[in-house]
Amino acid sequence: MIRRFRREDAERISELITTTMRISNAKDYPPEDIDALVATQTPEHILRRAEWTHFYVAEDAGGIIGCGAIGPYWGSVDESCLFSIFVHPGHQGRGVGRRIIEALERDPFFLRAWRTEVPASVTGVPFYMKMGYRYKNGITEPDEKRLVRLEKRRERPE
């Protein structure tokens, strides 16, 4: 089940993100990079992100197994950005990530946007490509934050 985030989810989402980074991203990033990223994913950070995005949670048997958020791209009203998309390693490959993306793509932030960007981890690029996202400006290499910028474009409104 995909539902909207509630304040009491912040601790469990922080744990989910930490676990996923330490297991799933470990093959693509050195331990010191993972440690630095994990340190930023506090419950307080999750709550701040949820204040300006539409944050979603994937649940199974009452447990949080995935999450994702969508919000404006740098304050834009016609461009959006995906954030914090994670699926617990024990549930990856079962369609949870696809259902999260589908929920995000039904959200008003997505529907109003002619372009949606996702700052993807190297680990996540194949998944986002399967979901129809493409390299922004044809750049396939990670940026200085070690993220790959992907985007999905729709016809720009007149």
34 inside domain: yes
Identify the CATH number of the domain in which residue 8 sits.
3.40.630.30
Q: Do strands 115-121 and 79-87 pair parallel, antiparallel, or not at all (unpaired)? A: parallel
pLDDT digits (tens, 9 = 90+) for 18-66: 999 999 999 999 999 999 999 999 999 999 999 999 999 999 998 999 9
158 inside domain: no
136 inside domain: yes
Strands (E), the chain: 2-4, 54-60, 63-72, 79-87, 115-121, 134-135, 147-153
How many domains does the chain fold into? 1
89 inside domain: yes
The answer to pTM > 0.85 is yes
56 inside domain: yes
Confidence band, pLDDT 50/70/90 cuts, at residue 118: very high
